[in-house]
Amino acid sequence: MKLSLLTLFCVFIISIFLVACGAKETSSSPEVGNPSRGKELYNKTVLGPRAAPGCITCHSLEPGVILVGPSHAGIASRADSIVQGLSAEEYLRQSIISPDAHVKEGFFPGIMYQKYEEDLTEQEIQDLVAYMMALK
């Protein structure tokens, strides 16, 4: 009887350990993008540990108003048709992490900060994309 109680106790402890490890693994993956957090990030003048320029520093949210980069007014309505084969979310994400991948006509490569993928967390990138998807 003692052996079966000890075995049961060991199985119980191992089960708790496995559940705890599994919970830790799933909590480390980013959640779906949050537009409210994305808006807050978008409107910051500096981002990340290197004080990179925030989105609002170079991109206007007013139609036709160009600062350094193109206006993001209504970007969600047109992002899925800018690059064939990319969804709006994919295009916006790629524009953040690889800004020279698709430079809009009239603008020059190398102008946009190139290290957002290193400076922002995956969650922050997802949050920015979620916010920009609300800009219709």
- The whole-angstrom separation of Cα 43 and Cα 56 is 5
E strands within 40-89? 46-47, 52-53
| Percent of the chain with pLDDT strictly greater than 70 | 78
Taking alpha carbons only, the member of 100, 93, 101 closest to residue 130 is 93
Percentage of the residues of the chain whose pLDDT score is greater than 90: 77
pLDDT in tens, 63-78: 999 999 999 999 999 9
pTM comes to: 0.78
State the chain's maximal CA–CA distance in angstroms.
81
Q: What is the mean pLDDT of residues 17-41?
A: 70
123 pLDDT higher than 70: yes
Residue 28 in tokens? 């480390």
88 Cα distance to chain centroid: 13
Supply 117's token pair: 């993928």
Say how far apart CA 121 and CA 48 lie, in whole Å.
Answer: 9
